[in-house]
Structure 1
Amino acid sequence: MLKKLKLAKAYLEHGDDLAGALVPDDAVVVDAPPDGARPAIDAALDGRYEPAAELLRQQREQRAWEDRDVVVAGLGRRALAAPQWLDAWRQAQPDDPDLAVVDARRLVEQAWEQRSRDDASQVGPEQLRAFHETLAQATERIQQAIDGSPGDPVPWALALRHARGTETDRATFDGYLDALKATDPHHYGARYEAMQYLCDKWFGSHEEMYDFARASVEAAPRHARVQSLLLDAVLEHLAVDPSALASDPARVEEAIARAQGFVDSAPDAGHHLTAQTRNVLARVLFHLERHREAYEQMRLLGPYATSYPWGYWGDAREEFLSHRRHVVTLAAGTS
C-alpha cells in the first residue's frame, strides 16, 4: 500500500511532464511506411502500381536491401486488402522481379494470417489446410523473385519464412543460409527469419537461437541493423518464459548494448529501420523494471509503434499504448 501511495504522489509531481513529452495516443500508428515510400503506397491503394514498381526498381539497382525489405513488406500487407493494383501490374509486366517479390510477400502474409499466431495445438485443421495451400502458391513466386533479382537477400528472407511454415528439413534450411551469405550475409530480415526457424517453439532450442543470433551480430558491422538480433532472441525467449531475463543477465546486457549501439549509430536511418528496435528495447527494459530507460525509448519513438513485439501479447496498438501509460507512471516514481 505504501509503495502505491508513493507512486501516486510521484505521478502527481512528475507524471504530467513525462506524459506531455510523448505524442498523443491518437497520433500513434503501427508499422508506418518509410516517408519516401508513402507516395508509392498511396498510389497503390488508389490502384496505380507504377510508383511502387519504380521505387522498388531503384532500390534493387542501388542495392538498398534493408529499405527494400521494409517497402516490400508494407506493399505485400496492403495488397492483401486491396490487390487491384497488383493485378494491374501483373497484366502489364508479368515477369517483373519486383512484382514477384511483392506478390510472394503477399502470399506469405496471407498464409500466416490464415494460420494465426496461436500455438500449433490451437490451430484448426481448416486453418492449417488454407495455410499450406497458400504457402504452396507462394513457392513459385519466391523462386521467380530469387531468379529475377540475383544478389537480392529479400526473396531469401521470404524463403526462410516459407521454410518454417512448410517444415523444411535442416539441410535445405542450411542451403538457404549459404545462399544468403552470397547475397547480403548481414541482412536483418533474413537473419531474423532464420533465427525464428532455430528457436525452441519451431525446430531448434533457446540456446541454438542465441548462438545463431550472437554469431550474426559478432560478424556484422556495428552500425548494421542486424545488431538488434540478439535482443530479438531475448524477446523471443521472454515471450514464452517470463523468467528468461534472469537466466543469463550478461547476455541480456550485451543484447541491450548492441541494439542501443545500432540506434545510436543510425540517427538518420529513418523510423522504418530503427523504430522496431526501439519498440523491443522498450518492452525488454520494462520487464527489467528499468522504467526510466523504457520511457526514454517511448519518447524517442514518437508515434512509431510496430506490430512486433507488441502483437505477441495482443492488439499491437493497444499493447503499445497500455505499456506506454504504465511506463509513464513507473518512470515518474524514479524521478
Structure 2
Amino acid sequence: MILTVWRLLTRQIDINPAQDDAVLREARTQARYGSDIGPARKALAATRDDYDRRARYVRVLAESTARGLGSRVDRTTGRVDTDAAWTDGWASRAPADPDAQLVRARSLMARAWGVRGGDWAATVRPEQWAEFHRLLDLARQVNDRAMRLAPEDPTPWVNRLDIMIDESAPLEDVEETWRELTKRDPWHQQGHVLRLTYHCRKWSGSHEAMFGFARSVAATAPTGSPLLVLPVRAAAEWALWEQERASPAGTADEISRRWREDPVMQSDLDNALSRWFHQPATRHADWLDDANFLAYGLVRTGRDAEAAPVFASIGRYTTSVPWSWWGLGRGDTAFLRARRRARRAA
C-alpha cells in the first residue's frame, strides 16, 4: 500500500533539484552515482558566459554531495570527510580549473549545512556549530582560489556572499562583496536572492529592511526580470517568521489572512504576475523556483484561480521551499493540496 501511494506521488511531483534541465540532471546523476564527472565538467564549461545558469549548475551539482558519501563523519574526531566527495577529487586533480574549485567550495558549504541542520539557531549544539564553521572556513579558502582563477566571474562572489550570510557578517563587509558581485553582473538573480536573505529578520535584518530592498530592486528591474519576484519571496519569508517566531500560537490561516489583507503585498503579487509571469521572456535558470514562490503567494492569499496557470507552467517540478514553510506538514503535500485548489478554481 505504501509503495503504491509513493509511486502515485512520484508521478505527480518531481523533487530532483535539476528539475527539467536534462543536461544538469544527467551531469548530477553521473557525478553522484556513476563517479563520472565528465558530464559535469562539460556542462559547467558551457556556462562560462551564462552567469545565471552557471550559478545554478554550481549549486545543484555541489549539493549532490550533502548527506552522501562525501559527508561521512569520522567517529574519532567527529569531523566530516572533506576528501571523499567527487567534488573533492575533481578539485584535487584540477587545481587550476575554476569550475572544479567553485563546485568544491559550494559542496563544502552544503556539507556544513548538513551538519548544522535546518532548524532555528537556538537548537544547534556547540559541536555542530564548531564543525559548521570549520567547513565554512575551508569553503572560503577554496572559493578564494576560484576567485583568483576566474577574476571576472561573479559566481565566486555569490559563494562568498552566501558564506557571509551563514556567518552573519557585518553589513559593511557584505556591501563590499555586493559591489564586486554586481560590478560583474548587475542583475544577478541568485545574488539578489541571497542579498534579500541577508536582510531577513531570521538572519541579520528586519522585515522593513527586507521589503525595502526587495521593492527597491523590483521598482527598477526591467519587464520580464526574475527580480520582480523578490517582493513575493520577501512576503514568504515574512510569513514564515510571523508564523513560527512572532505568533507561534497563531495559525497558518491567520498569517495568510494578514497577507491577503495587506494591499502592498497584494500589489507585489500583481506586479510579479503582470510584469514577470505573463511576459514572453526567455526562462532564466531558476524560473521554476520563482514560479513556485509566485504560486505559493497566490494560493496562500486565496487567489487560487490566478495560481492555476502558474501551476500549469510548473508541472511536476515542486520545490521544498517555500511549500514546507506553510505549516501543513511536508512541502510536497502542501504543493499538491494547493495545486488541487487552483485547478478546481480555474
Normalization by structure 1: what TM-score? 0.83
* Deviation (angstroms), 1:313: 5.0
Partner in structure 2 of residue 217 of structure 1? 218
Partner in structure 2 of residue 29 of structure 1? 14
Partner in structure 1 of residue 57 of structure 2? 71
* Deviation (angstroms), 1:254: 2.3
1:263 matched to 2:247? The reply is no
Partner in structure 2 of residue 287 of structure 1? 300
CA distance in 1, matches of 2:295, 2:134: 37
Greater RCO (CA < 8 Å, at least 6 residues apart): 1
Structure showing the higher helix proportion among its residues = 1
Q: Confirm or deny: 8 A CA contact 1:231 1:252 kept in the other structure.
A: no
1:267-296 deviations in Å (ceiling 9; x for gaps): 6527x5221112112211121111222343
1:32-86 deviations in Å (ceiling 9; x for gaps): 34223233223313112222122212211xx211111111111101133255532
Q: Tell me, which stretches of 5 or more residues in structure 2 are unaligned?
A: 1-7, 71-84, 243-254
1:277 matched to 2:290? The reply is yes
Q: Name the CA shift for 1:309/1:88 in 2 (closer, same or farther; >3 Å).
A: same
Q: Tell me, which stretches of 5 or more residues in structure 1 are unaligned?
A: 1-23
CA distance in 2, matches of 1:322, 1:221: 32
Partner in structure 1 of residue 229 of structure 2? 228
Does the residue aligned with 1:265 lie in a helix, a strand or coil?
Answer: coil
Q: Confirm or deny: 8 A CA contact 1:157 1:191 kept in the other structure.
A: no
Does the residue aligned with 1:38 lie in a helix, a strand or coil?
Answer: helix
CA distance in 1, matches of 2:41, 2:211: 37
Partner in structure 2 of residue 249 of structure 1? 263
Partner in structure 2 of residue 16 of structure 1? none
* Deviation (angstroms), 1:323: 3.8
**Greater shift in the superposed pair: 272-281 or 93-102:** 272-281
Partner in structure 2 of residue 321 of structure 1? 333
Residue from 35, 39, 45 that aligns with 1:47 = 35
* Deviation (angstroms), 1:198: 1.1
Q: Name the CA shift for 1:200/1:148 in 2 (closer, same or farther; >3 Å).
A: same
Q: State the identity %.
A: 27
Aligned residues: 308
Structure 1 runs of 4+ aligned residues shifted over 4 Å read 313-316
CA distance in 2, matches of 1:215, 1:276: 21
Q: Name the CA shift for 1:260/1:44 in 2 (closer, same or farther; >3 Å).
A: farther
CA distance in 1, matches of 2:157, 2:217: 16
* Deviation (angstroms), 1:305: 0.8
Q: Name the CA shift for 1:246/1:42 in 2 (closer, same or farther; >3 Å).
A: closer
* Deviation (angstroms), 1:263: 3.1
Q: Confirm or deny: 8 A CA contact 1:234 1:255 kept in the other structure.
A: no
1:188 matched to 2:172? The reply is no
Q: Name the CA shift for 1:266/1:225 in 2 (closer, same or farther; >3 Å).
A: farther
Q: Name the CA shift for 1:315/1:38 in 2 (closer, same or farther; >3 Å).
A: farther
1:220-266 deviations in Å (ceiling 9; x for gaps): 32222222111111111111122651574223322442255323335
